[in-house]
Structure 1
Amino acid sequence: MSREEREQQIKEAAKKVFLEKGFRNTVMDDIMQETKLSRGGLYHHYKSTSEILYDIMDEGNRMREKAVKSTIELRQGLSFNEIVTETIVDKILSENDFIPIYAMFLQEIKQDKNLNNLYEKLKEKSTKTILELFNCTDNSENIVSSLDLIINFINTMILGCEILQVRDNFRNNKDILKKMILVVLNNKEE
């Protein structure tokens, strides 16, 4: 098995264990048992559950980046703010293997300094990616502040979908959600 395949196997096993036990209650031995790898085999690839979680989140971000590129290509007739709105709503309402793990990750960052540091790295990387995807050469404080607000909004909505189980309500009110986001985006330009 190649390195990439083995690491993917470990990440898949970790996702399963994180969802069953919670991140905080998962130790490397749990992942070792799920993968059937030896201790050395597992530790050769990852030294901690935080490292695995970071790679899972990074993989999710790359998947999201592809989805954003697709949204941009499919909706070329829309304004910049409309494309951003579509992208935000798509992310909020998406259902995939990464979303429950991401919500768990968001809940844990307050308790774990290492995870908070990982969150900040992911957020910085996401901001840079968003600026690149939308060809924003102006890296001004206003744009970064707007992105920070948008990322915080998205994270709050994802937590609502996962913890409060309101995804169906959001889906049923998708047009209202889009209008709300457009109001925020249009007001940030002023």
Structure 2
Amino acid sequence: MENKRGKETRQLIKKYSFALFAEKGFKQVTMKDICEVTKLSRGGLYCHYGSTQDIFKEILNDMMSQQENTFSKKISQNLPAKEILNDVLKIYEEEMLDSQSSLSLAIYEYFSIKENAETQNELYMQYLWSLNVWKELIEYGIKKDEFNNVDFLSVFNLIIFSYQGVRMYSKLMPIDETIPKRIIEQIKKILIKE
């Protein structure tokens, strides 16, 4: 069991590492870089994480858990499905325009590492995890008669791949703010009953 100080140190490491990964991508960040920004010694950093891969994997898992917990909590509170959808799509829209905090390039690099065949399975597992979270929301909205009876897999793929695509492109070129707005509006039109 990790003590409070250890948890706080891990949170600090992940916070600063997130910023580095967003700025440089995954492959360019070293444990030395993380030591410099966190002000930890190499021994102090290695006490918590064995590699940049370990840190990045935990950051991704935290992000997925946060989304899952948000959806499940709101569904258990019987909030309107439309409200839950609007909240998450607002966040997605803001994130699509914020290239500075996008991990899309780092995610691509992390999962494209050839020497670690395990990463491809991890990516697929993350995809399935996200799929289940969205499936729960879409089925909830259909059951509450707020959403159209859609093919949830197609809608999920539209949401996730357009979101990640815009985030990836935002690292490479300027993105007109109307692009995310139009994508979000189309997703709402597909899902929300008139």
**8 Å Cα contact 1:54/1:118 also seen in 2:** no
Distance 1:179 1:30, change over 3 A: closer
Shift of 1:34: 2.3
Find 1:181's aligned residue among 163, 184, 187.
Answer: 187
Does residue 59 in structure 1 map to residue 53 in structure 2? no
How many residue pairs end up in the alignment?
Answer: 176
Does residue 76 in structure 1 map to residue 80 in structure 2? yes
Matched residue type, 2:135: L
**8 Å Cα contact 2:30/2:52 also seen in 1:** yes
- Distance in 2, matches of 1:118 and 1:98, equals 24
Where do 1:109-120 residues align within 5 Å?
Answer: 109=110, 111-113=112-114, 114=116, 115-120=119-124
TM-score normalized by the length of structure 2: 0.65
- Distance in 2, matches of 1:99 and 1:20, equals 7
Does residue 152 in structure 1 map to residue 156 in structure 2? no
- After superposition, the CA RMSD in angstroms is 3.9
Distance 1:118 1:29, change over 3 A: farther
Q: Which residue of 2 is the match for residue 15 of structure 1?
A: 18
**8 Å Cα contact 2:71/2:133 also seen in 1:** no
Q: Which residue of 2 is the match for residue 87 of structure 1?
A: 88
What is the percent sequence identity of the aligned residues? 26
* Stretch of structure 1 that moved more, 8-17 or 111-120: 111-120
Q: Name structure 1 gaps, 5 residues minimum.
A: 137-141
Matched residue type, 1:14: S
Shift of 1:11: 0.9
**8 Å Cα contact 1:7/1:45 also seen in 2:** yes
Matched residue type, 2:103: Y
Shift of 1:85: 6.7
Q: Which residue of 2 is the match for residue 103 of structure 1?
A: 104
Distance 1:52 1:182, change over 3 A: same
* 3-state DSSP of counterpart to 1:94: helix
- Distance in 2, matches of 1:95 and 1:147, equals 17
Shift of 1:51: 1.6
Shift of 1:52: 0.9
Distance 1:89 1:12, change over 3 A: closer
- Distance in 1, matches of 2:69 and 2:99, equals 14
Where do 1:29-68 residues align within 5 Å?
Answer: 29-65=32-68, 68=71
TM-score normalized by the length of structure 1: 0.67
Structure 1 runs (4+) greater than 6 angstroms displaced:
69-75, 95-99
**Richer in helix (by share):** 1
Shift of 1:45: 1.6
Find 2:177's aligned residue among 139, 164, 168.
Answer: 168
